[in-house]
A and B are shown apart, each in its own frame.
Chain A
Amino acid sequence: MAAKDVEKRMPPEREGEALSEREIALLMAWIDQGFQWDDKLLPEPNGRSDHWAFQAVSRPLVPEVKNAAWVKTEVDAFIAAKQQVKGVVAANQASRRTLIRRLSLDLIGLPPTPQEIEIFVNDSSANAYRKLVDRLLDSPHYGERWGRYWLDLARWAESHGYQHDIPRPFAWRYREYVIDSFNRDKPYDRFLKEQIAGDEMQPYADENIIATGFLAAARISGNNMDKAAQRNDVLVDMVNATGSAVLGLTMECAQCHNHKFDPLSQRDYYRLQAFFVKGQLGNLSLQNAKAYEPRDLEAWMSKGAYAFYQREANKLVKRGLFVESEKAHTWGFYSPATGDGGVTRMPVVNRDPIHYQSEQLKQTRARLLIRGDVSKPGPQLDSGWPVVLGKTPDSLGERPRVALADWMASPDNPLVSRVWVNRLWQYHFGEGIVSTASDFGTLGAKPSHPKLLDWLAAELMDYKWSSKHIHRLIVMSNTYQQVRKYDSKNAALDPENRLLWNWPRRRLQAEAIRDSVLVATGELDVTIGGPSVPVEREESELRRTVYLTQRRSEMPPVMKMFDGPENVSSCSSRGVSTVALQPLYLLNSEFMSHRAQALADKVKSQAGAELDSQVEILFLRTLGRMPDAEELKNGKAMLDVVKAEREDALVRLCLALLNVNEFVYIP
């Protein structure tokens, strides 16, 4: 402010006049006097915004459309209305064979078996499709598929991250919690509350404590000697993830300065952080959950990771900072100030862990940090949510995070319901109604169908925050059931298919690719839940990919290869890269070689030595359909070799089928 050089002076030339000498002198004197700040004098900013996403949700009328016969659920009416305006024409309905494959891959992440396909294709009852939808939504595999999306948002992993990336042995309980919550269609508002305020909730339940694994998925740097900075990094991680995953706001900008584009101030940021400053991550006691013995941990991580964990644990044992516990516990977030008094916070294994002092935590008060620098604390702040989203009551009571969660789930909250239905939409169609699914701020993308978004948000709230209700509205629609078909006229009007004039096919995600392979080979172990399986034992326990140990520095190859999340910050959408290493992995990795062999064995035992039926069985197992005449001919041609080489030829054809586009795309 005092700089002579106009280039360096604040405010910048175009933004305002230079401060007067008197004003500068006042500020300097204030700084010299110790930068005192009177909270009482600090006025609550006037937060108003006419940005669409910050206005309360109101239920729009369902539009009437010309082609009323096409409307299967209200979703179609909103979609058709826009299509009519633009002049694009919806594609025909896909075949049953396509629909069951689409629905299965989309809802449970597994392809249908040939038997399931035949049953559906031949089901002549009027509600055949509805029955299929219900069966899939009721399947315990649904949670394994849809819970994984939430784990991406929660930047969840089973290690501390950063340099040492020491394992967090019990973090898998949170994975289990998420999968189970999706399977039970836990109301989304309840789901959020448990994750944000589980330790405060009454009556006590193990489940609530495990749910705090959301907050506790934050990384902790290994040997940062600066404990204040280390602790602050964890708090920042929690606020950013919550802001991004739940509110759809890019809060992180406001850590160092008022948000440049959104009506979010630095004050808002630290008031949100204030909800978390009296707590800490750690191992938390559970009352009824299954207990494990310390040596059980060996089976949950790679040999290297386990040895490392043991070494680090022993170092702490020697320093009197850690004891192994045989009591049931989980990795979570706990506040001794507001959390349930019956919870015991147990020590953790990390390089030089942050000290846990309950008295000190109780006394902690949130402060604004100047430029986000922990060594430059500014004024004290109370807990509160961003002003632009509503007024925080003067008192939040004894359980402030419960109050926060209640506010999130109140009908007045303009973001939480919209953000969630938009995510559900995105996971079904590849792109959200708002394409920037974690940025509903003023620079976020405008919704392609604003009324549909609000209508779905209203439905979510009116139907007790049931995600499965929203799934049904979407997958029962004609919009969802369209065939994938290019149309040059439509493409000219809407090249990006934002109006959904045909099915937006998309590649399977890493987990679904690997799981689909295991279904085709018949090897998949469908056990639900339990501790994770380390990648190095993935072939001896052929479980679904979601159960492979997620140590941040040791992610499963298939996830590294096919755009798995970085598990560092909340991930709202995985990219889809197409690179040459992917085919090399699918063609040359040991894992895939073994799968091709297993598939060939299955095909032989089912089809016998006859080449025609070998090709047919192979197509059924991989693509869920019979080969056409040409495919049969070309497939057989590959198998038609001298007898001694038949076995190898079949293995090669099996591997080929596991590589074709039809196998790795949702049709």
Chain B
Amino acid sequence: MNIIKNDVGHYAGSMLKQQLTRRAMLQQGTLGFGSVALAAMLADDGLLSAAESPRALPGGPHLPARAKNIIFLYMSGGPGQTDTWDPRPLLQKLDEQPVPQSIAVNVPKIPRSGVNSKLMASPFQFKKYGESGIEVSELFSETARMVDDICVIRSMNHRIPVHGPGECIALTGSPIGDRPSMGAWMTYGLGSESRNLPGFVVMLSNSSGPAPQRPGWGPGFLPSRYQGTLVDGKVGVPYTRMPKSYTGEKRQEQLQFIKWMNKKNLDKIGQDSELDARIASYELGYRMQSSAPEVFDLSAESKATRELYGLDYKACAEFGRQCLTTRRLIEKGVRCIQLRNGGWDAHGSLKSNHLARAKATDRPIAALLKDLKQRGLLEETLVVWGGEFGRTPTTEGSPARDKRGRDHSPAGYTMWMAGGGVKGGQVIGATDDLGYVPVERPVSPSDLHATMLHALGLDQYKLTYKHNNRDEIPTNFGGEVIKEVFG
């Protein structure tokens, strides 16, 4: 089926503002109302995401873009920094000791800081990897092989020790959950390259523990077409399967009838861009229905690829599928993908918890980085890893050795970035000798967001959306680009 063959021409109606976006205005200015331009615009606008392909911003990106895609590997529950990416030798020595006063005084007074509990040495060994020699925990021995492509930020911090609001901070910048997700902002800013797939795809895995927070991929006050589309990694985009009795031909016939009826209705009214857009959405829907399932069908992947992502190992098959699907989506032009892996909330039995979580994710993440790199996609794809916070250096729960766990700690934790112009093999920031709070180059979630936007060529102050009569920006609570990330 072709997209809107007729000359669409002018439009009318009070919904104009909602329908015709900034890019449309730009098109009007530069291209006039030519049918080709407007038809293409409507087609893009109809795409669930966003649309304004390939670049949403008038005049192109604000900055020279390093990356054009982003993958956020969000580890829900809070991986412990001292067990993963932030080795603290002193902590290993002070197992079961109280927190020395010299460090305790600097721990912010937020609930559950655990500062009066006993210290707990990490049950995991650290080793140097790569040319950079960055130390990484044995939990991530596979991802660690890519450490020369990774920039580790050890000085993340904020003040919210609760999962839900923490997840909202990590993914929207605010604990309240009323602002757009970073993914929605990015989709708004970047547009979508794919005409057959959503522009912002979200997949959940192991949703045990804290429940996924919808604002994390929600549109907030942005138009809802910028929200993430929640996709079941196994099934693919929702509602793309036709009812059993249909064949492609029967569906086509049905769509032709709908289109014919809609055109007839439109002719009666005269002109109406919103109705045009709805006509286009059926064609786009059909394309999505035909092409989306293919992206999620991994059966044609080689044995080597299956092995690389660990698809045949029970522990990591789920996340492996999602990581491989992520690579396939990126290849198809989806620009923003968020994978949420749950269950890192190790209040007790941290050792077995983190072992299991790492087993589920280490190999797939390493595979994703490697695969993107060998396909030349890593340079243009920013990969971000981390949770809503880290964990306390002290213990909580049962005192029995392997039953010990750690409480939430937003005061200091680790995240990492790779690809998309990021200078790998470097560490930014440092925590104190126990991993409690940053003592060097503190980085806030908003700083990280500003940096992510920057990597995508988006200036946090220029990416605005008018809401309640204010020009809202993604980094409402401050935040500055961490320039060192890009070397």
Interface residues of A, Cβ cutoff 8 Å to B: 161-165, 221-226, 233, 250, 261, 429-431, 436, 438-439, 441, 443-445, 484-488, 491, 495-498, 504-507, 552-553, 563, 566, 568-569, 575-585, 587-589, 593, 630-631, 634-635, 638, 648, 651-653, 655-657, 659-662, 665
Contact = CB atoms under 8 A, between A and B. Distances in A.
A439 B177 contact: no
A443 B469 contact: yes
B239 A588 contact: yes
A580 B46 contact: yes
Given A496-B13, A580-B46, A588-B239, A436 B270 contact: no
Interface string B272-313: 101101111110111111000000000000000000000000
Contact of A580 (B48, B218, B245): B48
A387 to B, nearest CB: 22
B239 A578 contact: no
A261 B469 CA distance: 10
Given A578-B278, A593-B243, 12 more contacts: A221-B162, A250-B468, A496-B16, A507-B278, A578-B46, A583-B281, A584-B239, A584-B240, A587-B242, A651-B245, A652-B253, A661-B275
B177 A568 contact: yes
A355 to B, nearest CB: 15
B257 interface: yes
A233 B176 CA distance: 9
Contact of A488 (B10, B15, B19, B211): B10
A662 B265 contact: yes
A222 B241 CA distance: 37
A225 B278 contact: no
B139 to A, nearest CB: 26
A163 B163 contact: yes
A568 B177 CA distance: 8
Contacts of A161: 177
Question: Which of B45, B164, B218, B280 is the most central at the interface, judged by chain A CB atoms within 10 Å of its CB?
Answer: B164
Interface in B251-279: 251, 253-254, 257-258, 260-262, 264-266, 269-272, 274-275, 277-279
A356 to B, nearest CB: 20
Interface stretch (B58-66, B82-90, B223-231): B223-231
A161 B13 CA distance: 37
B349 to A, nearest CB: 20
A436 B469 contact: yes
Interface residues of B, number: 80
Contact of B265 (A222, A226, A661): A661
A250 B470 CA distance: 10
17 contacts: A162-B165, A163-B164, A438-B468, A439-B469, A484-B269, A491-B10, A504-B14, A566-B178, A575-B223, A577-B225, A580-B288, A581-B238, A581-B288, A583-B285, A648-B250, A652-B250, A661-B261
B49 interface: yes
A495 B223 contact: no
A581 B162 contact: no
A510 to B, nearest CB: 11
B167 interface: yes
Among A163, A445, A576, max chain B CB count under 10 A is at: A163
Contacts of B223: 575, 577
A655 B229 CA distance: 25
Contacts of A487: 12, 270
A578 B260 CA distance: 19
A634 B261 CA distance: 10
Given A589-B239, A655-B254, A584 B289 contact: yes
A588 B242 contact: yes
B18 interface: yes
Contacts of A438: 468
A165 B237 CA distance: 26
Contacts of A577: 223-225
B257 A638 contact: yes
B242 A576 contact: no
Contacts of A634: 257, 260
A3 B73 CA distance: 40
Contacts of A222: 162, 164
A221 B168 CA distance: 12
A578 B45 contact: yes
B480 to A, nearest CB: 14
A661 B276 CA distance: 10
B162 to A, nearest CB: 5
A163 B213 contact: yes
Cβ-closest 7 pairs across A and B? A163-B164, A486-B270, A225-B111, A579-B48, A583-B285, A584-B239, A580-B284
B198 interface: yes
A233 B178 CA distance: 12
Contacts of B10: 488, 491
B112 interface: yes
Nearest to A161: B177
Contacts of B237: 581, 584
A306 to B, nearest CB: 15
Nearest to B261: A660
Residue among A441, A443, A577 with max Cβ neighbours from chain B (10 Å): A577
A635 to B, nearest CB: 8
Contacts of B165: 162-163, 221, 224
B466 to A, nearest CB: 10
A221 B164 contact: yes
Given A486-B12, A495-B12, A584 B162 contact: no
Contact of A486 (B224, B258, B272, B468): B272
B17 interface: yes
Contacts of A652: 246, 250, 253-254
Nearest to B48: A579
B468 A505 contact: no
Nearest to A562: B224
B210 interface: yes
Given A444-B469, A486-B269, A553 B285 contact: no
A25 B265 CA distance: 74
A562 to B, nearest CB: 9
